[in-house]
């Protein structure tokens, strides 16, 4: 079943609460903002109730997911127009540094808080991210959570060097963490912009 059918089951107050929660879980399976466990805990923290709590606001949770999907769909449509125009020019190849609807991976409309949540849950072993992250990327995540976003030029240059290497070698686990560090620091960037930690982030 698709997202709309599961969403209708979440809204159906004639169903047992457990069935509606299960349908909400199925809706989250369609989410592209973050992995499944982190999405549940993000919603719990955002709404102030655990999903097993009888007072967990099921409809508010679904509305939050609906809003994210709507904003994502708008970004995807705008990006598709941009890519069609690019393909009509000599510049057909997508840059690795370019913001797309799926990179950096994010919760549209709440990028900073969601990114911090992913990093926090990852640090306690519950984010479900792939293992094999570079220790420097892990350290960057911990630094952000404990000391705040990076502002020191030396620290930013080190992050940019790590990002450039991860892109070049396609080190996806490290890229996932650096994406969240970037989002938690700067928020969302416009579609098609280059993202990085320094002015040379496009390199």
pLDDT by residue, tens only, the chain of 203 residues: 799 999 999 999 999 999 999 999 999 998 878 889 999 999 999 999 999 999 999 999 999 999 999 999 999 999 999 888 888 887 667 788 999 999 999 999 999 999 999 998 876 554 444 456 788 898 899 899 999 999 999 999 999 999 999 999 999 889 999 999 999 999 998 888 899 998 755 44
pLDDT per position as a tens digit, 46-88: 999 999 999 999 999 999 999 999 999 999 999 999 888 888 8
At 60 the pLDDT is 98
Give Cα 49 to chain centroid, integer Å: 21
At 90 the pLDDT is 72
Three-class SS state of 44: helix
On whether the CB atoms of residues 38 and 28 are closer than 8 A, the answer is no
Rounded Cα distance, 75 and 46, in Å: 23
Task: Look up tokens 């993000």; give the residue.
Answer: 42
Question: Helix 111-123 vs helix 172-186: angle between axes, to the nearest 10 degrees?
Answer: 130
On whether the CB atoms of residues 120 and 159 are closer than 8 A, the answer is no
Q: Rounded to two decimals, what is the model's pTM?
A: 0.87
At 88 the pLDDT is 81
Three-class SS state of 53: coil
On whether the CB atoms of residues 197 and 104 are closer than 8 A, the answer is no
On whether the CB atoms of residues 119 and 180 are closer than 8 A, the answer is yes
Rounded Cα distance, 177 and 122, in Å: 9
At 126 the pLDDT is 43
On whether the CB atoms of residues 27 and 6 are closer than 8 A, the answer is yes
At 203 the pLDDT is 44
- Residue 100 has φ and ψ, to the nearest 5°, of -125, 175
């Amino acid at each position: 079943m698709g997202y709309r059918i599961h969403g209708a089951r979440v809204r159906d107050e004639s169903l047992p609460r457990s069935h509606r929660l299960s349908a909400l879980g199925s809706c989250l399976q369609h989410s592209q903002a973050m992995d499944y466990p982190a999405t549940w805990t993000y919603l719990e923290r955002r709404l102030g109730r655990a999903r097993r709590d009888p007072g967990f606001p099921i409809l508010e949770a679904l509305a939050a997911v609906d809003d994210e999907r709507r904003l994502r769909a708008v970004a995807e449509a705008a990006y598709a127009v941009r890519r069609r125009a690019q393909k009509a020019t000599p510049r057909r190849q997508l840059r690795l540094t370019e913001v797309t609807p799926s990179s950096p991976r994010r919760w549209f409309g709440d990028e900073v808080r969601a990114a911090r949540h992913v990093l926090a849950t990852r640090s306690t072993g519950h984010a479900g991210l792939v293992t094999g992250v570079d220790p420097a990327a892990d350290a960057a995540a911990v630094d952000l959570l404990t000391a705040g976003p990076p502002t020191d030029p030396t620290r930013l240059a080190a992050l940019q060097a790590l990002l450039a290497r991860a892109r070049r070698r396609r080190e996806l686990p490290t890229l996932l963490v650096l994406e969240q560090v970037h989002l938690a620091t700067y928020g969302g960037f416009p579609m098609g912009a280059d993202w990085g930690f320094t002015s040379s982030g496009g390199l």
